[in-house]
């Protein structure tokens, strides 16, 4: 149940499950709210360029540093990073906002966005997912395509300590891996300062370690709000075959947009296209009656 709204004050942090999360809150306080969920290995700042465009369009944007990324929200147990716990953090933030929102996610954030919209459609006006499809579509891709070859690091990240040590070494293989995925020099520097030096890396990796503790039922969730799936053909992590199965899980208006020549890192490298997709989906949601008044 939604509490009273936060239209007269900024949300700079919120508390859930005994943890404190840092939040970026920008744009007109009375504007429609776009909730932006970052991926791995990034923080809320990865949405900065997208937020500026949305703010100019009259949207209020709220982007949290999620569990493990916020310094005061770093539990150590693997089970504390199961998908249900991560979704619970998002639901708590929407409750703090006090009204339904347009849910947006990239990479891991997209996975959490899909599950949030599936479990609590009353809180989601629309869903825009970047790079990562519905959990069921992703699992189907793992079993029926070359997706499993692109997801080798899921298994590697289950090892203790070694993955974060490997990724924290500047100029080593991990950074070359990032570079092959399309990360620019600026992206790499941001990862060094905002993830490695910030102390978030071991906890960010634990998102993968929490997967065995997650409810497999998330792969069967139905989505009943207007949905936009945005994928880029330069993505080295997610194959198109996995993306094309996403529509099977959506019982509402659905759009697939393919960005040519763009890598996996859509929010920073194709911010205008990303913002346009969010705005178009939000407009569609309003046209179809998925506005704040009808969803409250």
- Catalytic sites, residue numbers: 107, 208, 264
Instruction: Quickly list H helices, 108-250.
Output: 108-119, 135-144, 147-150, 153-156, 162-168, 173-180, 185-191, 201-209, 240-244
Number of Cβ within 10 Å of residue 270's Cβ equals: 21
Q: Cα dist. 130→134, 147, 276, 277 in Å?
A: 11, 17, 12, 10
Angle of helix 108-119 versus helix 135-144 axis, rounded to 10: 120
Compute the Cα dihedral for 245, 251, 252, 253 and give only its sign: positive
- The residue written with tokens 């899909």 in the block is 114
């Amino acid at each position: 149940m939604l509490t009273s709204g936060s239209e007269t004050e900024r949300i700079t942090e919120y508390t859930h499950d005994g943890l404190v999360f840092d939040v970026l809150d920008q744009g007109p306080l009375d504007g429609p709210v776009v909730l932006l969920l970052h991926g791995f290995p990034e923080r809320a700042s990865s949405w900065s360029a997208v937020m500026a465009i949305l703010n100019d369009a009259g949207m209020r944007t709220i982007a949290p540093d999620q569990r493990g990324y916020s310094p005061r929200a770093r539990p150590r147990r693997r089970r504390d990073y199961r998908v249900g716990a991560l979704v619970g953090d998002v639901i708590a933030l929407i409750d703090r906002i006090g009204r339904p929102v347009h849910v947006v996610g990239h990479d891991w954030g997209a996975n959490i966005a899909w599950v949030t919209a599936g479990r609590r459609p009353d809180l989601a006006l629309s869903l825009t997912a970047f790079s990562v499809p519905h959990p069921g579509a992703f699992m189907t891709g793992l079993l029926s395509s070359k997706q499993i070859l692109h997801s080798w690091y899921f298994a590697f990240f289950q090892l203790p300590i070694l993955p974060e040590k490997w990724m924290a070494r500047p100029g080593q293989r991990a950074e070359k891996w990032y570079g092959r995925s399309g990360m620019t020099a600026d992206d790499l520097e941001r990862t060094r300062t905002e993830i490695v030096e910030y102390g978030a890396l071991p906890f960010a990796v634990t998102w993968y370690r929490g997967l065995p503790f997650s409810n497999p039922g998330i792969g069967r969730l139905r989505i009943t709000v207007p949905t936009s799936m945005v994928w880029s053909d330069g993505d080295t992590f997610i194959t198109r075959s996995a993306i094309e199965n996403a529509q099977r899980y959506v019982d509402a208006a659905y759009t697939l947009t393919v960005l040519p020549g763009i890598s996996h890192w859509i929010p920073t490298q194709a911010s205008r296209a990303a913002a346009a997709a969010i705005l178009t989906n939000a407009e569609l949601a309003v046209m179809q009656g998925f506005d704040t008044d009808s969803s409250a």
